Amino acid sequence: MYKPFDLSGKTALVTGGNRGIGLGMADALAQAGADIVIWGTNAERNAEAVKSLKAHGTRVSAARIDVSKEAEVVDGMRDAVTQMGRIDSVFANAGIGSAVPSFTEITAEAFRKVHAVNEDGVFYTLREAAKHMTERAKKGDPGGSLVGVASLAGIEGAGRNQHYGASKGAVISMMRGIAVELARYGVRANTIAPGWIATDMTQRAQDNPAFAEKVIPRIPMRRWGKPEDFGGIAVYLASDASAYHTGDLFIVDGGYTVF
């Protein structure tokens, strides 16, 4: 039997892991045998997610961390390492959207708010994870997988959403730089760019009949993506199966970008 996808003995940390795409990834990671740490700002949602993830039989813990706050992330990563012993993969997935009527109406405040979570949050999370992984590598135990969750908005033109698109473009280039620098420690860095996924973030679009008529038919798979659609890529990137795969951008969009 081919074993590299088995995550037994590994710990994965997923920011924004209490719902949506993050929970879809955390659920698959737990099913593959990983111990899980999730971060989110909402204590109730965290508790609910922990309950469902624990059904898979691995160790699961949650912390109330706002990834846009550097001190919370620093403390959170230290606590996660202490509690679990080690962190093998980190999915910097927490993010917020912020659609506006037009580019000219993006306020500095809205711009900063989106970047604080989607860019600063990814930076703090992965920097702290990288410290843990590189220190471990220097003691003779190389390895680790860092994953940034970006968006098609970071690649294609995101009209009425330039601040969001810019924050996601930043994630894509940050991940490439991390991949180059940390490969010598065996640490891999990759990006996932989701297409249109049915989560709380896209609720308004899901409820909009014009969207169902004009956008969904342009997806070759002819449907919204689901959080579970991110389980496979999460397990692959957390596992030894991807040991030589770094610096890549995984587009998971049902074929939307190539149509």
Binding mask 120-139 for ligand NDP (x = CB under 6 A): -x------------------
C-alpha dihedral, 243 to 229 to 14 to 96, nearest 10°: 130
Give the distance, in angstroms, between the CA of residue 189 and the centroid of all CA atoms in the same chain.
12
> Shortest gap between Cβ of 228 and ligand NDP (angstroms)?
12
Determine the 3-state secondary structure of 50 from DSSP: helix
Tell me if 68 contacts ligand NDP by CB under 6 A: yes
- Binding of residue 117 to ligand NDP (CB under 6 A): yes
Among 4, 8, 9, 42, interactor with ligand NDP by CB under 6 A: 42
Among 7, 12, 13, 21, binds ligand NDP (CB under 6 A): 21
* Residue 199 is a binding residue for ligand NDP (CB under 6 A): yes
Instruction: Name the residue among 188, 181, 174, 178 with its Cα closest to residue 236.
Output: 188
Q: What type of residue sits at position 52? A: S
Pairing of strands 35-40, 249-252: unpaired
Q: Of the ranges 54-62, 87-95, 103-111, 132-140, which one interacts with ligand NDP (CB under 6 A)?
A: 87-95
Does residue 2 carry a catalytic annotation?
A: no
200 touches ligand NDP by CB under 6 A: yes
**Opening angle at CA 179, ends 9 and 228, nearest 5:** 55
Q: How many Å apart are CA 64 and CA 41, to the nearest integer?
A: 5
Q: Is 231 in the site for ligand NDP (CB under 6 A)?
A: no
254 scored as a contact of ligand NDP (CB under 6 A): no
Sign of the Cα pseudo-torsion (165, 98, 258, 248, in order): positive
Is residue 60 part of the contact set for ligand NDP (CB under 6 A)? no
The helix or strand, by DSSP H or E, that contains position 169, with its residue range, turns out to be helix 162-182
175 binding ligand NDP? (CB under 6 A): no
CA pair distance 89, 106, nearest whole angstrom = 35
Q: Give yes or no for residue 96 binding ligand NDP (CB under 6 A).
A: yes
For ligand NDP, the binding residues (CB under 6 A) are 15-16, 18-22, 39-42, 45, 65-68, 93-96, 117, 121, 149, 151, 194, 196-197, 199-202
Known catalytic residues? 164
